Amino acid sequence: MENLLILPHNSELDVTTYEKLGVKIFTPETITPNDYAKITIMLGWQLPLSEKILAAPHSDLKWIQTVSAGIDYLPLTELKGKKILVTNMSGVHATPISETVLLYALYFARDFPTVLANDNKHQWAQHSEFANIKTLNQLTWTIFGTGHIGAELARLLKAFHAKTIGVNRTGHTVPSFDKTYAQSDWQQAVAHTDVIVNIMPLTNETTHFFNDQFFQSLNNTYLFVNVGRGKSVQTSALIQALKDHKLQHAALDVFEEEPLPSTSPLWKLSNVLITPHYSAEMADLGNAWQAIFLPNLKAFVKTGNVIENQVNLSNGY
């Protein structure tokens, strides 16, 4: 008998389907401390409740299915030690994030700041104001992280006839990338590029990867995009690069500290576009979660194992 604790509120999760599999459902509203040790499966991660379940004496917890792709916020060493299975939602964000990155690039490339400034003033712009407009096929893209999201972004960019370079751990080839490099060869990957996108998971190898050495190696690069994790970027080094004209623009969805404090100097930089960790938002997210969770749950009830999206706790993604 599996006892499932469902943490996110989402009306699209079809709980009756789980009950038909013989699974008993708990929610933060119905669970009592006496139930903590009984929970075998957790959908989502919510503090402080999740930590209480994990720490419960004689806890029966066997599997955590996150509703995020990134799992950097989980106590990975403890979960590995306790042999708890972890699956993530990698895949469901590929379309909304790719579309958001295209929006960021088009915002700057089609000089939307100027368009909006004129619109706000009810003013018809002069064509001479748009001398710096670029099309996406005039830009070379280097995407750090060629997984679900990076690969989908590259696939869409190919429709715009853009040149695509990918960076992953080993440099293995991936469809829709003209060339791929290993992380250690990053200098070659960004030497002649225009747009740099971070969509890597946050791990020991990616923490503060985009640091002073990285940004100072650039030469008036057109755009830096971060939709991966804020802690992969050393914010002070990014700000310095924007001031030193190593970088022309930045579009940032994730930050070292979230919410981004109102005192952050990033807010004041006119060449920086800030979005509030929103790039993955879309309607029907619950249905997208269901498409991963339900087959996994069916398999787990039958065999004690899952069939997709298992995270490698040693790699951290």
Ligand X SMILES: NC(=O)C1=CN([C@@H]2O[C@H](COP(=O)(O)OP(=O)(O)OC[C@H]3O[C@@H](n4cnc5c(N)ncnc54)[C@H](O)[C@@H]3O)[C@@H](O)[C@H]2O)C=CC1
Q: Contact positions toward ligand HPV, by CB under 6 A?
A: 67-70, 93, 280
Q: Measured between alpha carbons, how far is 53 from 119 in angstroms, rounded to an integer?
A: 53
Select 52 or 277, whichever has its Cβ closest to ligand HPV: 277
For the bound state, the minimum distance from the C-beta of residue 263 to ligand HPV, rounded and expressed in Å, comes to 23
Among the listed residues 277, 298, 299, 310, the single contact to ligand X using CB under 6 A: 277
Nearest to 225 by CA among 190, 255, 195: 195
Report the distance separating Cα 111 and Cα 267, nearest Å: 19
Binding partner of residue 232 among ligand X, ligand HPV, none, CB under 5 to 8 Å per kind? Answer: none
Least distance to ligand HPV, CB of residue 130, Å: 35
| Dist. CA 199–CA 65, nearest whole Å | 21
Residue 248 or 310 with smaller CB distance to ligand X:
310
Scanning residues 55 to 74, which ones bind ligand X (CB under 6 A)? 69-70
- Phi/psi of residue 108, nearest 5 degrees: -80, -45
Distance of closest approach, residue 255 Cβ to ligand HPV, in angstroms = 12
87 contact, one of ligand X, ligand HPV, none, CB 5-8 Å limit per kind: none
Select from ligand X, ligand HPV, none the partner in contact with residue 253, using the beta carbon and a kind-dependent cut-off of 5 to 8 Å: ligand X
Q: Rounded to 5 degrees, what are φ and ψ at 175? A: -55, 150
98 sits near ligand X (criterion: CB under 6 A): no
CA R_g for the chain = 22
**Cis before 259 (ω within 30):** yes
Report, in Å, the least distance between residue 240 CB and ligand HPV.
Answer: 26
Task: State the amino acid at position 80 in one-letter form.
Answer: K
Tell me the Ramachandran region of residue 47: left when phi exceeds 0, alpha when psi lies from -120 to 50, beta otherwise: beta
Look at residues 181, 132, 175 and name the one whose alpha carbon lies nearest to residue 156: 175
Which of ligand HPV, ligand X, none interacts with 256 (beta carbon under 5 to 8 A by kind)?
Answer: none
What is the nearest approach in angstroms of ligand HPV to the Cβ of residue 302? Answer: 27
Burial class (CB in 10 A: 0-12, 13-18, 19+), 47: exposed
Within positions 178 to 207, which residues make up the interface with ligand X, using CB under 6 A?
Answer: 183, 199-203, 205-206
Binding pattern for the stretch 137-166 against ligand X, x by CB under 6 A and - elsewhere: -------xxxxxxx----------------
Task: Return d(Cα 132, Cα 175) in angstroms, integer.
Answer: 31
CB of 40 to ligand X, least distance (A): 25
Return the number of the residue (67 or 218) whose C-beta is nearest ligand HPV: 67
Task: Name the residue among 294, 277, 274, 303 with its Cα closest to residue 68.
Answer: 277
Interacting residues with ligand X (CB under 6 A): 69-70, 90, 93, 97, 144-150, 167-169, 183, 199-203, 205-206, 227-229, 253-254, 277, 279-280, 317
